[in-house]
Structure 1
Amino acid sequence: MSSSPKWIFAVHATRPDDAGAVEIVFGAEREACAYAADRSCDQRVLAASVTRFAVGELGSRHPVAWYVDGVAQPQRTVRPGRLYPTDAPAEGR
């Protein structure tokens, strides 16, 4: 008998020179979103995002919310900065 997954919520901040690694993990969505909204107001932070996932379950990662200057943004809006470190242009391009 399998139990329902225990969701956790990761927050990362995107800065102009950084891809935005996970900064902190919460056990509650409300706390993660409150932290991300506040973090998005910090100097040099372009945006802060919340992602939900279950530990040890591939494919469980799901975007929850993202914020700019403390305001929730529509999920489909283009985000500032690079999404992943691999999005950087290759050398010589």
Structure 2
Amino acid sequence: MSDLVDSVHTTRPDDSGAVEIVFISERGARAYAKDRSTDLRIPAAPVTRFVIGQLGTRHPVAWFVDGKEQPHRAARPGKLYATDGHACASRRDD
């Protein structure tokens, strides 16, 4: 099993968003994000790729609004956005 994964974040008008699900395939993450971006109160659903347990490996893959993939440089809705490089990661010790 590879440690390379794709996560889908969801943003909401009143929140900066959170990782909702992690996939082992980009195809699965893109399909989920595309569908999820059509839900009420979800202005966008980005896909981010990273290597588990390795800081600095995170990078944007795609993001969707109303079921349509958006250009990487398009203006993002909401406050902090998971794929724009400005969101802060939280640390969890297990």
Pairwise TM-score range, normalised by the shorter structure: 0.7 to 0.9
TM-score by length of 1: 0.82
State the secondary structure of the residue aligned to 1:60.
coil
Which AA in structure 2 matches 1:68?
V
Q: 1:1-93 alignment to 2 at 5 Å?
A: 6-83=3-80
Which AA in structure 1 matches 2:23?
F
User: Where does the alignment leave 5 or more consecutive residues of structure 1 unmatched?
Assistant: 88-93
TM-score by length of 2: 0.82
Structure exhibiting the larger radius of gyration computed from Cα positions: 1
How many pairs align? 82
State the secondary structure of the residue aligned to 2:32.
helix
* 1:36-87, Cα deviation, whole Å (9 max, x unpaired): 0000000011000000000111110000000000000000111000125x79
Shift of 1:6: 2.9
Which AA in structure 2 matches 1:53?
F
Which AA in structure 1 matches 2:38?
C
Runs of 4 or more consecutive aligned structure 1 residues displaced over 2 Å after TM superposition: none
Identity %: 62
* Whole-angstrom CA distance in 2 between matches of 1:32 and 1:12: 10
